[in-house]
Amino acid sequence: MTQAPGTLPESWRVQLPVFEGPLDLLLQLVRVNKVEIAQIEVAVICDQFHEYLELMEEMNLDIAAEYIYEAAMLIHLKSKMLLPRPRTEDGEPAEDPREELVKRLLEYRRLKDASHSLAEIHSMRVGVWTRRPQPMPNAEQPEALELDEVSLFDLLQAFREVLVRYDHDHPEPYLMSRETFSVREQFERLLKELEGGKPFDLLADLGQRRSRGEIVAAFLAVLEAARMHLIRLHQSEGGELVLYRTTKELQRHELEAVQV
Amino acid sequence: MTERADMEAAFEAVLFVASEPLKREKLIELFDQSEAEEAGAALDAVLERYRAQADRGISAEEVAGGVRIVTRPELHGYLRRFYEITGRSKLSMAALETLAIVAYRQPITGPEIHELRGVQPSGVLKTLLDKRLIKISGRRQVVGKPFVYRTTREFLMHFGLQDLKDLPPLEEFEETFGSEPDRQLSLDTAGS
Amino acid sequence: MTERADMEAAFEAVLFVASEPLKREKLIELFDQSEAEEAGAALDAVLERYRAQADRGISAEEVAGGVRIVTRPELHGYLRRFYEITGRSKLSMAALETLAIVAYRQPITGPEIHELRGVQPSGVLKTLLDKRLIKISGRRQVVGKPFVYRTTREFLMHFGLQDLKDLPPLEEFEETFGSEPDRQLSLDTAGS
């Protein structure tokens, strides 16, 4: 039995209804065709299901994987329905291929109806207010949970909370040194580079720093060292800024005075 | 020996202050064991008085295995206006369907819910867990060890139920599979 | 036009929900300005009714710029006793966090828990020991020889776990619930 296109309600073309998933759509198709679930005509429903997906495509809506999966199931079922049904060993006809689908739809409809009753109760019950918790003498903190009600979810949320707070209070030292650069570190690096009286091209060195923060720290370190007369600055004819180490010894208290 | 009037006053005060349902036994424990019967009667008298005052702002209800004082639902609008609360917890249809599945088929796992609704339930489950309407109550010892879900005491409180037996009954459909001869079936046999 | 009985009910409900004194003017603003006088009288009637019921558990009082419903001071003892009874079955957030640390990092010592939570844990550990959710399983052979804590069998039973291997790792949680947000379809549009 082939079904002419356009068997979906005309209004669907104007405004595509939104379903809570493929089963919800199937249920609606059963309703549109005015048949009982148990009497579902797979070929018709299958075609209409695809028609709906095509409409979704036309409207550039994303089709969730679940719909595609269910569509494939329907095609499979439709082909099974066309084949003669095998017989079991006793000579009885084998199970109707639709049986599982019918069962799922009946169960889904039953639960969907129940969800409508819950929705009704919900909308009435949101109007019920209790007293706002207040600090009580000798009572536990208001956010305390009834022990019976504490579940794995709460345990995990609590653990996550601890870890997040811990990380916040103890930022990793590696990140620290990358983000805020210590002038003293740069200062020490600078003096080390100048050991042995090698000429040192300041601009070239600054160009090798990895971030603006590090450049600033390195430059401040140069100014510090110059102030302490540990280095001398020279500008070459080519415009390079060259540093030399002086003979002055670095005093421990001087190093400690440099900003970390 | 406690005066009956004092008992009623004590229950009223304790119930008034509480923001969640209190178990009858716990309330009655406030008094000496020898007075338990009298205390029970006093508690009933208080509850009855609250329930009887139909035109008042507050009333008593029995939910989740306990008793509590709550406002009448009709006054929601005033409370919302006064406390400037907009949009109190709306539940999406997806959340309600999933909640119904957990409520009626608990204990149930994520994959089972997926099978029943035809939709991946993780986002909705998270919403329901956050609202404390459902909880994880362990794992099923099958492949993948999925979490097992149940409804909570909060669920009972919110829906005004004493226990799960109070859920509206599921509709039993008369449709049984294959009860009527069916066109398509006969087509198949004709072709064989 | 609001009925006088509705006004009284609304005031009663609003006063019940609040746990702090409410200003008269703010309460009266719940109604239209043209009804202000009537509303004032309704509020007085509610307060008067509460004050008149001398043998009941609750009463009304006017304090620092506002009105509120309160429990009668004579009943303080009952309230305290009741909250001692119910407090026993509660778990504070601090206790829950400590329990989670023990669960995920066991065997663990007090000082190590201190390091993770930044708070001295001895009080909370005592609560958890009392509730039999954790136990002491020896001492660590380091300076001070601190006790080592582990979770108990009761802990596993409470959380529906077969053994500690079933405790879900953080990543599994993110995989299960982190992905899809719940589509917030509101109830009214879902039917269209």
Which of C90, C104, C161 is closest, CB to CB, to A146?
C90
Give pLDDT tens digits for A146-197.
Answer: 787 888 888 888 888 888 888 888 776 654 445 567 888 888 888 888 887 7
Query: Which residues share a beta bridge with A141?
Result: none
Q: What is the dihedral of CA C43, C47, C48, C49, to 10 degrees?
A: 100
Which residues in chain C have their CB less than 8 angstroms from residue B92's CB? 182-187, 190
Q: Between chains, do B14 and C180 touch, taking CB under 8 Å as contact?
A: no
A117-127 average pLDDT score: 89
Phi, psi for residue C136 in degrees, rounded to 5: -90, 130
Give pLDDT tens digits for C104-138.
Answer: 999 999 999 999 998 889 889 999 999 999 999 99
Mean of per-residue pLDDT scores for chain C: 85
Query: Which residues share a beta bridge with C60?
Result: C69
Which of A131, A144, A159 is closest, CB to CB, to C92?
A144
The per-residue pLDDT for C190 is 33
- Could you tell me if C93 lies within 8 Å of chain A, comparing CB atoms? yes
* Best CA proximity match to A122, nearest among B10, C11, C173, B168: B168
Nearest CA in chain A to B67: A130
State how far the Cα of B58 lies from the Cα of B68, in Å rounded to an integer.
Answer: 10
Tell the burial category of A247 from Cβ atoms under 10 Å away from its Cβ (0-12, 13-18, 19+): exposed
State how far the Cα of B83 lies from the Cα of A37, in Å rounded to an integer.
Answer: 48
C149-176 average pLDDT score: 87
State how far the Cα of B8 lies from the Cα of B5, in Å rounded to an integer.
Answer: 5
* Best CA proximity match to A160, nearest among C155, C104, C175: C104
HSE at residue A21, side-chain half, CA atoms within 13 A, is: 23
Nearest CA in chain A to B127: A153
> What amino acid is encoded at B69 in this protein?
I
Q: Between chains, do B176 and A151 touch, taking CB under 8 Å as contact?
A: no
Phi, psi for residue A87 in degrees, rounded to 5: -105, 150
The per-residue pLDDT for B88 is 61
Which of C11, C78, C176 is closest, CB to CB, to B13?
C78
Contact indicator for A169, C118 with CB cutoff of 8 Å? yes
Q: Which of A25, A109, A111, A148 to mutate to test the interface with B (most CBs of B within 10 A)?
A: A111
Q: Between chains, do C13 and A129 touch, taking CB under 8 Å as contact?
A: yes
Give pLDDT tens digits for A215-233.
Answer: 888 888 888 888 888 888 7
A16-21 average pLDDT score: 86
The per-residue pLDDT for A249 is 84
Q: Between chains, do C56 and B12 touch, taking CB under 8 Å as contact?
A: yes
State how far the Cα of C29 lies from the Cα of C36, in Å rounded to an integer.
Answer: 7
Q: Say which residue, A10 or A103, is predicted with more confidence.
A: A103
Chains that touch A (3 or more CB pairs under 8 A): B, C
A124-140 average pLDDT score: 71
> If you count residue pairs, one on A and one on B, with CB atoms under 8 Å apart, how many are there?
167
Cβ density class A64-99: b for 16+ within 10 Å, e for less? bebbeebbebbeebbeebeeebeeeeeeeeeebbbe
Which of B9, B83, B145 is closest, CB to CB, to C56?
B9
* pTM of the shown model: 0.72
- Could you tell me if B81 lies within 8 Å of chain A, comparing CB atoms? no
The per-residue pLDDT for A33 is 85
HSE at residue A66, side-chain half, CA atoms within 13 A, is: 16
Q: Which of C16, C68, C90, C119 to mutate to test the interface with A (most CBs of A within 10 A)?
A: C90
SS3 label, residue B179: coil
* CA-based nearest distance A19→chain C, Å: 8
* CA-based nearest distance B11→chain A, Å: 16
The per-residue pLDDT for C114 is 93
SS3 labels along chain A = CCCCCCCCCHHHHHCCCCCCCHHHHHHHHHHHCCCCHHHCCHHHHHHHHHHHHHHHHHCCCCCCHHHHHHHHHHHHHHHHHHCCCCECCCCCECCCCCHHHHHHHHHHHHHHHHHHHHHHHHHHHCCCCCCCCCCCCCCCCCCCEEHHHCCHHHHHHHHHHHHHHHHHHCCCHHHHHHHCCCHHHHHHHHHHHHHHHCCEEHHHHHHCCCCHHHHHHHHHHHHHHHHCCCEEEEECCCCCEEEEECCCCCCHHHHHHCCC
Domains C4-76 and C87-186 share a fold: yes
Q: Which two tokens stand for residue A65?
A: 């994987």
Nearest CA in chain B to A69: B118
The per-residue pLDDT for B157 is 92
Mean of per-residue pLDDT scores for chain A: 81
Chains that touch C (3 or more CB pairs under 8 A): A, B
The per-residue pLDDT for A140 is 47
Give pLDDT tens digits for C28-78.
Answer: 999 988 999 999 999 999 999 988 887 789 988 888 778 988 888 888 889
SS3 label, residue C105: helix
- The low-confidence residues of chain B, meaning pLDDT below 50, are 174-192
The per-residue pLDDT for B75 is 92
Pairing of β B66-71 and β C66-71: unpaired
Q: Which two tokens stand for residue B12?
A: 């009223």
Distance of alpha carbon A8 from its chain centroid, rounded?
37
Give pLDDT tens digits for A29-84.
Answer: 988 888 888 888 888 889 999 989 988 888 877 888 889 999 999 999 888 888 87
> What amino acid is encoded at A182 in this protein?
S
Q: Say which residue, A97 or C9, is predicted with more confidence.
A: C9
What would the CATH number be for the domain defined by C4-76? 1.10.10.10
The per-residue pLDDT for C181 is 45
- ipTM value, please give it: 0.76
> If you count residue pairs, one on A and one on C, with CB atoms under 8 Å apart, how many are there?
104
- Could you tell me if B132 lies within 8 Å of chain A, comparing CB atoms? yes
- Could you tell me if B51 lies within 8 Å of chain A, comparing CB atoms? no
Q: How far apart are the first and last CA of chain C?
A: 35
Q: How far apart are the first and last CA of chain B?
A: 88
Which of C90, C118, C131 is closest, CB to CB, to A140?
C90
Spell out the domain ranges in chain C: 4-76, 87-186
Distance of alpha carbon C4 from its chain centroid, rounded?
35
Which residues in chain B have their CB less than 8 angstroms from residue C49's CB? none
Give C169-175 contacts, CB < 8 A, sequence gap 24+: C170/A156, C170/A159, C170/A160, C170/A163, C173/A156, C173/A160
Residue A242 has pLDDT above 90, yes or no: no
Confirm or reject CATH 3.20.20.120 for domain B87-186, answering yes or no: no
Among A84-88, A104-108, A114-118, where is mean pLDDT lowest? A84-88
Nearest CA in chain A to B184: A41
Output the CA angle C163-C169-C172, nearest 5 degrees: 120
